């Protein structure tokens, strides 16, 4: 069984994190193609509410992707509304080193790292459910998970985030031969810097954020739609996206990107190092024994 084109017109797409940022851009673009859009998020936003108002083919379900029973709630709503399960999945919900789940700040105790639950466990579990639901209906489906260029390299300031995105890249590469068994295509996209709400004011300073170097959410969404719909991008595809364009990442070895907004540009690294390491040095300074 090879990959096939899956045009989204009259199809159902489930989008996690679909009320803002890249997820909302994907919801808007999918709707413009004639898709039925099921959005999962913790809460809506005014932008989403305006977009969804009066459209019966846009359905919002309040849900927490770290609470796995909420996934079943999503599928139940989908089947009640459209008597079917999704044909496509845009897995967009994610965390970027928030204060409550941060390697260097390390505020968590018994519950583990929330960032791992959102960025790793949620997309892997939802992909498994997509396979199960699609097989049960005897239908093809396509899954695209947002990773990051941080999943191809690394960042001292965001080691937990990068580790979670490496996990997604590894998961998708591992699934490259699964489509003949499951009828579900699984791909991932690795964008560079993106102008989304994940860049809170503190991160804008620390990471020397500049809008001129950033992709827009719509750029990422448009390429996710290529991955979801076009058979050119087979199961296991890892697509890098930066201001320099796109390239498919081979399973083994790739030269690091030097485009602006990727975190790998040498001049940017040198210029932003002081700001990048400032909060880390401050935190470690408080932990350092005076005798050292």
Is residue 77 included in any domain, yes or no?
A: yes
Is residue 264 included in any domain, yes or no?
A: no
pLDDT in tens, 1-57: 778 899 999 999 999 999 999 999 999 999 999 999 999 999 999 999 999 999 999
Domain count, the chain: 1
For residue 269, is pLDDT > 80?
no
- The mean-pLDDT minimum among 62-71, 186-195, 220-229, 258-267 falls in 258-267
Is residue 121 included in any domain, yes or no?
A: yes
Among the listed residues 188, 174, 87, the one whose alpha carbon sits nearest the alpha carbon of residue 139 = 87
pLDDT in tens, 113-156: 999 999 999 999 999 999 999 999 999 999 999 999 999 998 88
- The mean-pLDDT minimum among 10-14, 101-105, 161-165, 209-213 falls in 209-213
Is residue 279 included in any domain, yes or no?
A: no
Q: Which long-range contacts (CB under 8 A, 24 or more apart) does 98-104 make?
A: 101/160, 102/160, 103/158, 103/159, 103/160, 104/157, 104/279, 104/280, 104/283, 104/284
Kindly report the CATH number assigned to the domain that includes residue 91: 3.40.50.720
Is residue 86 included in any domain, yes or no?
A: yes
Is residue 196 included in any domain, yes or no?
A: yes
Report the C-alpha gap between 168 and 185 in whole angstroms.
15
Note down the domain range covering 231. 12-200+213-257
pTM of the model: 0.89
For residue 292, is pLDDT > 70?
no
């Amino acid at each position: 069984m090879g990959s096939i084109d899956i045009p989204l017109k009259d199809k159902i797409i489930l989008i996690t994190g679909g009320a803002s940022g890249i997820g909302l851009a994907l919801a808007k673009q999918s709707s413009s193609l004639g898709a039925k859009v099921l959005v999962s998020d913790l809460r809506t936003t005014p932008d989403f509410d305006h977009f969804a108002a009066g459209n019966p083919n846009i359905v919002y379900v309040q849900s927490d992707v770290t609470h796995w029973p909420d996934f079943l709630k999503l599928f139940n709503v989908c089947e009640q509304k459209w008597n079917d399960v999704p044909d496509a999945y845009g897995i967009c919900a994610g965390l970027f080193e928030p204060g409550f789940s941060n390697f260097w700040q390390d505020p968590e105790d018994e519950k583990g790292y929330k960032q791992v639950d959102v960025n790793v466990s949620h997309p892997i579990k939802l992909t498994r459910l997509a396979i199960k639901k699609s097989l049960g209906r005897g239908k093809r489906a396509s899954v695209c998970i947002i990773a990051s260029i941080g999943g191809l390299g690394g960042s001292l300031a965001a080691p937990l985030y990068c580790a979670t995105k490496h996990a997604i890249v590894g998961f998708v590469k591992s699934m490259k031969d699964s489509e003949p068994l499951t009828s579900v295509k699984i791909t991932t996209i690795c964008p560079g810097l993106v102008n989304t709400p994940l860049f809170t004011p503190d991160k804008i300073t620390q990471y020397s954020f500049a809008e001129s170097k950033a992709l827009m959410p719509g750029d990422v969404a448009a390429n996710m739609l290529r991955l979801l719909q076009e058979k050119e991008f087979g199961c296991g595809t890892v697509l890098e996206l930066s201001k320099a364009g796109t390239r498919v990442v081979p399973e083994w070895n790739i030269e690091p990107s030097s485009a602006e907004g990727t975190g790998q540009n040498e001049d940017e690294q040198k210029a932003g190092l002081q700001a990048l390491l400032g909060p880390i040095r401050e935190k470690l300074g408080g932990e350092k024994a005076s005798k050292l």
